[in-house]
Chains A and B, each alone.
Chain A
Amino acid sequence: MIGTDFIRVLYIDLTNKKADIQERKDLYKYLGGVGVAAKLLEENMKKDLPPLDEQQPLIISIGPLSTIFPVVTKAVATFISPHTGEYGESHAGGRLAMAIRNAGYDAIVITGKAQKPTYLVITDKTIEFKDARAMWGLDVEEVGRLIREREPGPGKRSIIRIGKAGENLVTYSCVNVDTYRHFGRLGIGAVFGSKNLKAMMIMGEEDLPISNLKEYFKTYQEIYKKVTQTDAMAKYHELGTPMNIKVLNAINSLPTKNLLQSNFEHADDISGETFAEKNLIRKVSCVGCPIGCIHIGQFRREFDKGYEYESIAVSYDHELIYALGSLLGIKTTDEVLQIIEEVELAGLDAISTGVVLAWATEALKKGLITREDTLADLEFGNTMEYIKAIDNIAERVNEFYYTIGNGLKEAVKKYGGEEFALLYGGNEMAGYHTGYAFALGQTVGARHSHLDNAGYAYDQSAKELKDEDIIDYVIKEEKERAILTSLCICLFARKVYDRPTILKALNSIGINWTDEDLTRLGNDIFFTKLKIKKELGYSLENYKFPKRIFETPTLWGKMDEQKLNRLLKMYIERVEREYENWSRGK
């Protein structure tokens, strides 16, 4: 809590409909966000039980700067991932962090399983377990509407919910946060589903007095100025992340048609520029962010002859245009938006869905699976067939869809095609075929996300690729990002929040940390996550990269398999050594 020396944790037991609040001084040294969420996961997880066992915890946390400084907008969730079976971590913007802050909590730990579908209402005054039976089976949009109409607090609340995919325990189902944001990756939607938890609404009017207004507001204004009046974040407001489509395409780094290609003949047709000119209707922000990076695109769909159209607006970003666009060979912005809408309503992770469907398209062509399995003519560029397939995944309509609903790793175990399954560390590939640092980075990153250590950025800016330099970068960057995410700073603002700025912000609200404290924190979080993973049986020994990534040129030409394997070995050795030292110091 602001101005205190403890982390205020709300524990919710769904089985017994009980809640408890603890003020944890011991957690204060982990600051918030990822640090606190990882520690709470470590304490509460049951390493011998399956990820979706009702005893497994689900944790959401915020940080000390959340909402009260510009672009500190994220809430962090940790859980045991039903998708990889190991450490699960996901970040979401929107209004959730504000709502948790205003309700007076730093973290929420949810365990147990409600007897019947339930939605939670959490405020500074109440914790209620409400009947969600009638909501079970409804899409995320409809559930959002019902809760908005039933519950108080417009403008001050956050509503998070799952769709059918989460209910049906698809291991890459997501949690929708306030319509346009998500806890996307690693299957947190299934964790909600396994607990019979359809949705949560959070809000509060907790008194949060400012101890030193002069110091705080001076710092606030300095950071605000940096955010709004320098070019540190301009690209996120202008074209947004979709500006990457053209950039990556020009350097052989845009995964296309299941990575049969790394540039796309229709890249210009689905570029950020084309989206902005044809479809962009507005931009919105997460609470506390003056940037407005959430780009909303609109498309119209003819539902009958005689100029009968419906219009639909969805948010788009680079990763979605890659996974549900170039990777599936989709040629127009309108069609990409249509596929996004389907993924959105079902409550699926966009990247995993696209990658699984791209694999299925090739597997169908190669005869590993049949039309009887897919129930749709999956073919690159065929939007309507992909839309059918997305619904089939969420509904798990047959054995094939049941299997691919457990992710690509399960799919290749049953049907083969491992060589063209775009998996890094058991998680589906993000939208950058830039080279070694990306490939290594997503594989070894704590949550197997490209955002763990931004290897793609290294590939794009490096002058030459020295093995040692790549290893150094990937480790250093992940530790640095652990600091940013423990503070719940949006990674888009990483250039604004350098260490002196972070310390200034912390000091201005009475947290007198030093640069050494931050270094210690980054290290502790990095190895705490690794410890959790190890306890869950994680190992990269005998790890095999998919063949496809070596067959398609990257920015650096075709990757050499031996070099990538060598890098992986070096990384493992280096981190193991550091881990031993860290463990001894604990």
Chain B
Amino acid sequence: MPKVLRADNMNKCLGCFTCMLTCAAVNHNNHNLAKSSIKVKTRGGLQSKFAATVCVACKEPACAEVCPTNALVKRPGGGVRLIEEKCIACEKCVSACIVGSIHMDYDRKIPIVCKHCGACVRMCPHNCLSMEEVRE
């Protein structure tokens, strides 16, 4: 069965950002965590809890629906896959994603979209993140 990323245990988060650094490195060949598709931040200053913005793996992804060039295609289990060559960087997917999971990489002129690859999960020291099996 396909797997999708879940961030269900964020109360345990230390704020080390290793998940983001790993995602940016492995998926975007970049050291800047601004390139990460998982985004950890506080709910308002370090005295508050941490929250993670992740792709929730929609079965009917709005981002794909608004894409004028079919650069975003449904992936098994939910969410989307980006076909870079088809992307014209119109940014429609960014505003269509109401959980705020997609943002632009202006250097490469493509949206940063979670692949549900699980790299962030493997590098989370507190098991805040997990990969969950889902039906297609």
Q: Which A residues fall within an 8 A CB radius of B? A: 2, 67-68, 70, 98, 101-102, 144-145, 148, 154-156, 178-180, 204-210, 213, 216-217, 220, 224, 228, 283-292, 313
Contact = CB atoms under 8 A, between A and B. Distances in A.
Contacts of A148: 44-45
A70 B14 contact: no
Interface in B70-124: 106-107, 123
Contacts of B14: 283-285, 290-292
Main secondary structure of the interface of B (DSSP, over half): loop
B30 A155 contact: no
Contacts of B21: 67-68, 288
B62 interface: no
B45 A144 contact: yes
Nearest to B106: A205
B129 to A, nearest CB: 13
A155 B16 CA distance: 11
A179 B48 CA distance: 11
Which of B16, B32, B47: most chain A Cβ within 10 A?
B32
Contacts of B34: 102, 156, 204-205
Interface string B52-80: 00000000000000000000000000000
Contacts of B134: none
A582 B126 CA distance: 47
Given A102-B34, A290-B14, A213 B25 contact: yes
B6 to A, nearest CB: 19
A210 B30 contact: yes
A210 B25 contact: yes
B18 A207 contact: no
Nearest to A287: B17
A209 B125 contact: no
A207 B30 CA distance: 7
Interface residues of B, number: 27
Given A148-B44, A148-B45, A206-B32, 5 more contacts: A67-B31, A155-B40, A207-B30, A209-B30, A290-B14
A94 to B, nearest CB: 8
B41 interface: yes
The 6 A-B residue pairs with the shortest CB-CB distance, nearest first, are A155-B41, A290-B125, A292-B14, A285-B16, A208-B31, A205-B34
B2 interface: no
Contacts of B125: 228, 290-292
B32 A210 contact: no
Nearest to A289: B16
A284 B40 CA distance: 13
A289 B18 CA distance: 7
B46 A102 contact: no
Contacts of A178: 46
Nearest to A210: B29
B10 interface: no
Nearest to B49: A282
Given A284-B46, A288-B18, A292-B16, A102 B33 contact: yes
B9 interface: no
Nearest to B32: A208
Given A155-B42, A207-B107, A290-B14, A224 B29 contact: no
Contact of B47 (A2, A67, A206, A313): A313
16 contacts: A67-B21, A68-B21, A68-B25, A68-B31, A155-B42, A156-B34, A204-B34, A208-B32, A209-B30, A213-B29, A216-B25, A228-B125, A284-B15, A291-B14, A292-B126, A313-B47
A2 B31 contact: yes
A156 B33 contact: yes
A544 to B, nearest CB: 43
A216 B29 CA distance: 10
Contact of B32 (A102, A144, A179, A290): A102
Nearest to A69: B21
Contacts of A68: 21, 25, 31
Nearest to A179: B46
A102 B35 CA distance: 11
Contacts of B126: 292
A148 B39 CA distance: 17
A498 to B, nearest CB: 21
Contacts of B25: 68, 210, 213, 216-217, 220
Contacts of B45: 144-145, 148, 179
A290 B30 contact: no
B30 to A, nearest CB: 6
B35 to A, nearest CB: 8
B29 A209 contact: yes
B119 to A, nearest CB: 10
Contacts of A179: 45-47
A586 B41 CA distance: 48
Nearest to B53: A155
B31 A210 contact: yes
A149 to B, nearest CB: 9
A290 B46 contact: no
Given A179-B47, A284-B46, A290-B14, A217 B26 contact: yes
Nearest to A229: B125
Nearest to A148: B45
A70 B25 CA distance: 13
A144 B45 CA distance: 8
